[in-house]
Amino acid sequence: MEVIKLREDYIKLGQALKFAGAAESGVDAKYAIQDGLVKVNGQVEYQRGKKLTAGDVIEYNGETIRIEA
């Protein structure tokens, strides 16, 4: 499980995928999200700009990413 430590109050979903290395670029993250391949807290998420806060969990391509404060 990958862990992302927040520097601010939130991180956007597309940025989190890039930062964790799950997506190589913002474009890759955008298409993965649009295609319904990304889940946030167990629900498919289609908004690239979805604000994630501490405790949120992302699932994508067999990887799990947790957001921590």
pLDDT in tens, the chain (69 residues): 999 999 999 999 999 999 999 999 999 999 999 999 999 999 999 999 999 999 999 999 999 999 999
Q: Note whether 60 and 22 are within 8 A (CB).
A: yes
List the domain boundaries for the chain. Answer: 2-68
> Topology of 2-68 in CATH?
3.10.290
In this prediction the pTM is 0.93
